[in-house]
């Protein structure tokens, strides 16, 4: 039975990945931060699932989680690691409290590093994986975002963190060639998850009465619209399964709704034109 550790498995993409892979016979370890979420996850996953309590922002807790998974594996290797845990706290970079920015970077980027350092050793070098394993190599799948490729106003910390994970993934993939561990990015577009609703409710009232109030209101409406029209988390989960199992996986997958508008046109149109379009949509320019 193949095994995988998924961070941030209580809701959204992480939960969808956990359920999808458990249904397909994977042994799934899912990280959650609350005991109640652990019970709910294990009930949803059935006998193939186990919740592991840790926050990717707590280095000691991550290491304890890795020890727990290692004990459960009983000497077998971990086949996959899906780094999904993340947080989005929008705000104008000039005025956003530095502790909010640091939190986003710590969870989304440094938290990914913590998980990799803790769990990649459980994947073992290529020679230890055994010829009977259906995966030729262990796989690390890092969940980023279209935002890591295209900057969007008032999400600078989130964009920076996802862009950093993109760069980390490229370097790490080459570092781990000798160990037979592949590193793959899945960078979705808008997905129907609560991540932006949670972030938009965090301290946005501090900008009331400032020059940011109207564009932030437009941003919030835009994000809600994108979430409502976004992909189902199950679509991203299926892409993650492909990244974990394909014989020759791509280094990066980009599941996005309406790819022409949300992926290809922003890559092909002049950058200054995209600037103007976004600026007008948010009321930043006339």
Q: How confident is the model at residue 125 (pLDDT cuts 50, 70, 90)?
A: low
User: Is 158 annotated in the active site?
Assistant: yes
pLDDT of residue 260: 84
Binning pLDDT at 50, 70 and 90, where does residue 127 land?
A: very low
Domain ranges (residues) in the chain: 3-187+232-256
Torsional class of 187: left (φ above 0), alpha (ψ -120 to 50), beta (otherwise): beta
Please provide the CATH number assigned to the domain covering 3-187+232-256.
Answer: 3.40.50.720
Query: According to the model, what pLDDT value does residue 219 have?
Result: 84
Percent of the chain with pLDDT over 70: 92
Say what the pLDDT of residue 136 is: 47
Query: How far is the CA of 278 from the CAs of 88, 152, 213, 268, in angstroms?
Result: 19, 8, 16, 15
The percent of residues in the chain predicted with pLDDT above 90, rounded, is 76
How far apart CA 131 and CA 248 sit, in angstroms, is 17
Asked whether the predicted pLDDT for residue 130 surpasses 60, the reply is no
Q: What number of other Cβ atoms are within 10 A of residue 49's Cβ?
A: 21
The pTM is what?
A: 0.92
Grade residue 176 by pLDDT with cuts at 50, 70 and 90.
very high
Q: Which residue has the tokens 């970079």?
A: 93
Q: Report whether pLDDT(161) > 50.
A: yes
Nearest Cα to Cα of residue 2 among 120, 133, 118: 133
Looking at 152, 158, 207, 253, which residue is catalytic?
A: 158
pLDDT tens figures, 264-279: 888 899 999 999 999 9
Segment 133-148 mean pLDDT: 80
- Is 166 within 8 Å of 187 (Cβ atoms)? yes
What pLDDT is attached to residue 195? 64
pLDDT tops 50 at residue 220: yes
Q: What is the mean pLDDT of the chain?
A: 91
Lowest mean pLDDT among 110-124, 139-153, 241-255: 139-153
| pLDDT of 133 over the 80 cut | no
Please state, in angstroms and rounded to a whole number, the distance separating the CA atoms of residues 9 and 11. Answer: 6
**Residue 135: pLDDT band by 50, 70, 90 thresholds?**
very low
């Amino acid at each position: 039975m193949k095994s995988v550790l998924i961070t941030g498995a209580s809701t959204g993409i992480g939960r969808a990945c956990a359920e999808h892979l458990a249904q397909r016979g994977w042994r799934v370890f899912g990280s959650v931060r609350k005991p109640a979420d652990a019970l709910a996850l294990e009930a949803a996953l059935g006998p193939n699932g186990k919740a592991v309590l840790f926050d990717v922002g707590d280095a000691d807790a991550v290491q304890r989680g890795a020890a727990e998974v290692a004990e459960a594996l009983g000497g077998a290797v971990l086949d996959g690691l899906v780094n999904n845990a993340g947080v989005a706290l929008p705000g104008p970079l000039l005025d956003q409290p530095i502790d909010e920015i640091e939190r986003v970077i710590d969870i989304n980027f440094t938290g990914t590093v913590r998980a990799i350092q803790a769990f990649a050793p459980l994947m073992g070098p290529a020679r230890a994986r055994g010829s009977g394993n259906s995966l030729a190599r262990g796989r690390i799948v890092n969940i980023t975002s279209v935002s890591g490729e295209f900057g969007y106003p008032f999400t600078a910390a989130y964009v920076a963190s996802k862009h950093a994970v993109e760069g980390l993934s490229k370097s790490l993939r080459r570092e781990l060639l000798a160990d037979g561990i592949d590193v793959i990015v899945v960078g979705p577009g808008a997905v129907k998850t609560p991540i932006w609703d949670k972030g938009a409710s965090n301290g946005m009232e501090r900008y009331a009465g400032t020059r940011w109030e109207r564009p932030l209101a437009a941003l919030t409406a835009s994000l809600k619209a994108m979430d409502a029209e976004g992909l189902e988390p199950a679509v991203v989960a299926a892409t993650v399964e492909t990244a974990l199992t394909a014989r020759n996986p791509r280094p990066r997958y980009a599941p996005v709704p309406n790819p022409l508008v949300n992926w290809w046109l922003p890559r092909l149109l002049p950058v200054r034109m995209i600037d103007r379009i976004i600026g007008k949509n948010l009321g930043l320019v006339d």
